[in-house]
Structures are given as structure tokens and as C-alpha cells.
A and B are shown apart, each in its own frame.
Chain A
Amino acid sequence: MSATSIPEAPPRFRAGASGAVAGGAAALLLALAPFALDPAALNTLGRIVYFALLAASLDLLVGITGLPSLAHAGYFAVGAYTAGLVAKDVSALAVVALPAAVLVAGVVAAITGWLTVRSRGIFFLMLTLAVGEIIFLLAESADDVTGGSNGLFGIPLFEIVPGSDALSQPALRYWFVLVVFAIGYGVLWMIARSPFGLVLRGIHGNEERMRALGYSPRLYAFAAFCIAGAIAGLAGGLLAAHQQGVTPADAAFGTAVVALVSVIIGGAGTLWGPCLGAAVVVLVRDQIGPSLGGHGPLLLGLVFVAAVYLLPGGIAGTLARLRRRPG
């Protein structure tokens, strides 16, 4: 029996021919987007892309390992603040700021994860909620470092090579985010289909049996927690590069919930589904929401409820079912 109520990933974690074609087409469309979209729309698409990386990294925990975490926005924000501070005070080179974000977020995930992965179910959810809240409160109160409730602003443009201001161009900035997303997503994808990824799915499916096979599930879950936290930090670094500003709201409970909702709407355990879920969520929250006079979260809630009832297994699960039973 499953340790959580999160549905398990489909049994075959590999791209078929149609999956490869769909993935290639999506990559091509995303790469060509700057030629078709105005700067405002491109800005939104950039936000979707780094938020999709956050959702995919969370899926490694939720869908693959079966650990629904509410601490993930915390590591996202740790990465964003780290990249922002490094860019401001040390070096705005992307090859310095982004690895720093990955490293610091990974270390914070390791410290907090060692405690949380000992629990399961509702206790894991509550412990990760507490971790997320602590990071949020630190972000809000450490005025000298994070800029407190005003947030961290004045982050310089990230540099690809020393002295370059190429990222002032909206299209180039978008492509930069897209390339880093591709790297982060590629790492998650390879991990999910590796022997280690199979162990994570084994933990999701039958943790007791894993122990009887001689595994230490806690150790593997901890490794997954650290990796997911580090990639969330990379997504946060992209936020700092893209928005040139970070606020405590990026660490808040709301962000954690929205990331989790992206995973569920998109289809837990598939990695690509949560990316689609992130697109839906960001569009509803940031594009449609503001025109509803503050009722954006209500609409997001309705979309979530509708998705849970109408799309079991999320967007990915529904597409898979439609493909199996055409017509």
C-alpha cells in the first residue's frame, strides 16, 4: 500500500516515440516564442519556465518518492536570495551566482531534510510546513541581509561573460532562463529514470518491502530531498536573474501550496506534467487573477477542485488515458 495518497507514477518511466515528438515540439515552440510574443507576454512565459522547474523539482519528492513537501518554496527562496546577494556583492556572473544558489539551497535542504525525512504522511507535511514557515520568517525579519518585508531589490543583470549586458534584452534573458531550465529539467529526468530513481519509486510504492530487500529508505529519501531542494534553489536563482528582485512572498506558504497544486494539476510523477500545471497556475494567478479584483486565489482554488475531479492523474494522466483509448 502506498505511504501517501499521492498517486504513483505510471509504471513505465520512459519517453515513447510520441513523447519524444511532443517534447521536441514543445522545446521548439518555447525556443521560438520570442519571435511571436510581445515583451510583456515573454516576461510571463519566463516566469512560467522557472516556476515549472520549481514544480518539476517538487515532483521528484511528491510524485516519484511519495513525499508531499510544503518546505519547497523555502529552498526556492533560499536559492533566489543567495543568487541575488552573490550577484550584488560578489559577482554577477551567472556561472557564479547560480551554482551558489544550488549549493546553499542544497545545504539548507540537507540540514532540514535530515529531520523531516524521518516522518511520513501528515507528520512529514506538518514538519515541512514548519520548515517553510521558519525560512519565510527569517526572510522577512533579517532586514540587513534580505531587505526584510520590502524584499531584496537592485539585483544587477546577470552576466554570461564578464561585463556583458546581453541579458538586458528580453529575448536573450528569456533564452537564458530557458537554457538553465533545460539543464535542471534534464538532471531531474535522468535521475528519475536511473537505478536510484527506481529506488525512490520503490519507496513510494512499498517502503516496508524496500526494507526487507535490504534498503535503507530513509537514506534514499534524504538524498532525494537534498537533490530536489538544490534544483528548487536553481529555480530560485532564475527568479533572481529574471525579476532582479526577491520578496518574502516567494518563500511564503502560498508559493509552497501553488507549487504543490501545479504538481497535482499537471500529473504527479511524470515531471513534465507539473511543468504544464505550473503554466496553468501562473497564468491563472498572474494573468487572469489581477483582473478579478483580488479573487485570483478563489479562481485558482476552483481550477484545482475541477482538476482533481475532472482530470484524475492530472493533465498528464488524462492525456495518457486518452491516448490509450482513442475516441
Chain B
Amino acid sequence: MTALLELDGVTRSYGGLLAVDGVDLRLDAGARHGLIGPNGAGKSTLFKLILGAEAVTTGRLHFDGVDITRMPEHQRVRLGIAQTFQHSSLFAALTCSDNVLLALQRRTGDARRIFGRPSRALRAEADELLTRVGLEGAGPRPAAALSHGEQRQLELALALAARPRLLLLDEPAAGMSPAETERLATIIAELDSDLAVLIVEHDLDLVFRVARDVSVLHLGSLLMTGSAEAVRASEEVARVYLGGASVDDVFIDEAVT
């Protein structure tokens, strides 16, 4: 079976600094993959390389068998790679429905229609997406009236509206209350089973709840990729993060800082 996303010796250097160093990574359809590592490990850079926001120095990327190494960002979006932003970027004055409709009508081509209203089917899809991210009934509310956590959920709805096959979640729980994080974990768990999810998150509890596999990045290189349990139990991972104790202690420290 062809992997959905395949990174092959991906490297990115800034002058003499190797931000990402020879990373191999393989995500199949339906993967739930966590990407963790201390600050400066290269997580954000790796995300940008997958999205096409930055170019790789060496190495190759394939998406569903297609070489996307030199493909510009907007074309990767059309192939089915979507992201949520670390800081919510929404249309504050528009209703939640209209926020999602903007993303939907871009995909369907309705955006070019200068007369008529958005179709019933499109509006129903917008409502369905809002329900899916836990914002049922929020359609008529302006996005600005949402709480921080709800705005992150709306952000997720905008990403899902493009019907992606790979969803990159960039610290989706940043700034969320424990209750909101709890709800986010449920929403991610309920996403389509054939949608691949790659999540970067400082809240390691969340990562281990939603991810079946986890990769640990350290100084730009993959320290380890394995099942969530294996990563949790790894002494090497513990050593990198700490100076001692158990991995869980370190993870908790990391989550706090």
C-alpha cells in the first residue's frame, strides 16, 4: 500500500543550522500521529515543509504517490492537505455559518456566483460541520462572540470544509481550558477514520489520548517513532527530555512550561 504522506530524508538548513535533519516519516490514510519534542526541536519547521510554506533543502516528500517536494502551498491544499493555525485566524464580524461557508464555497466554486443565496445543500453542510466540531447551533452567532476554545473549534471546521485527506493540527489546544481540551480530544477522536491527522501539541496528555503513533523530534532529527505506548515507555526519550525520573513526570513539566 502506498503511504498517504511519505517523507524521505527531509532536511532543512538555515545557513549552518540544521533545523530539520534527515527526517523519514510515513503516514497512512487514517493515521493519528503525534509529533512531540522540546522547544526548538524542529516541529514547526517540519510542519512548514509538509505544507509547502518552506522548501526542503534536501530530501523528498510524496503525497498519495505524487512527488510534492517542489509543489507550491496552494496546490498542496488542493491535493488535500489542510491545517489549523496556532493562533486562530477567523472572520470575526461574520457568523460561524458564514465563516464555514467561505471555506466551503471556495471548494465548490460557488464563490464566483454574484447572484442568489448559498445553496441549501451548502448551508446544510456548514451546519453539519459546525455540529461535527461541537458548535451545534452556533451558526447565527458572530465568530467574535465565541470563547477562545470555541474559536479553535471553528478553526477546525474551516480546515475540514476543504475535505482534506491529511489534517495538520498546530497546537490546537493552545490556551484552552481543561474542559475545552477535553472536548477537543473527543472531536479529534470522532474525525473520519480515513482522514490522517498529524498533531503538534505541547499538552502531551492530549497527544497520548488522540495519537496511536508518536514521533519524537530532538535537535532536528527523529529520536524515535513508535506506538504511543512504546514512546511513553522509552528511556531514551525520557533522557532527552530530562535529567531523570519517569517520562510521565517530564511530560507533565513540559505541559506546564
Contact = CB atoms under 8 A, between A and B. Distances in A.
Contact of A214 (B95, B106, B112, B116): B106
Best-surrounded residue of B112, B114, B142, B158 (most CB of chain A within 10 A): B114
B92 A205 contact: yes
Contacts of B125: none
A118 interface: no
Given A212-B89, A214-B74, A11 B118 contact: no
B140 interface: yes
B94 A205 contact: yes
Given A12-B140, A214-B77, A214-B106, A198 B89 contact: no
Interface in B73-119: 74, 77-78, 85, 89-95, 98, 101-103, 105-106, 110-118
A159 interface: no
A190 B74 CA distance: 30
Contacts of A321: none
Interface of A: 8-12, 190-191, 193-199, 201-202, 204-206, 208-210, 212-215, 220, 223, 227
Chain B interface extent, by class:
20 to 34
Best-surrounded residue of A10, A12, A193, A209 (most CB of chain B within 10 A): A209
Mostly helix, strand, loop or mixed at chain A's interface?
helix
A214 B106 CA distance: 7
A199 B109 CA distance: 12
Given A12-B95, A195-B110, 9 more contacts: A190-B115, A190-B116, A191-B114, A194-B113, A194-B116, A194-B117, A196-B111, A201-B94, A223-B114
B93 A198 contact: no
19 contacts: A11-B98, A12-B95, A190-B114, A190-B116, A194-B115, A194-B116, A194-B117, A195-B117, A198-B105, A198-B118, A201-B98, A202-B94, A202-B102, A205-B93, A206-B89, A206-B92, A213-B102, A214-B77, A214-B78
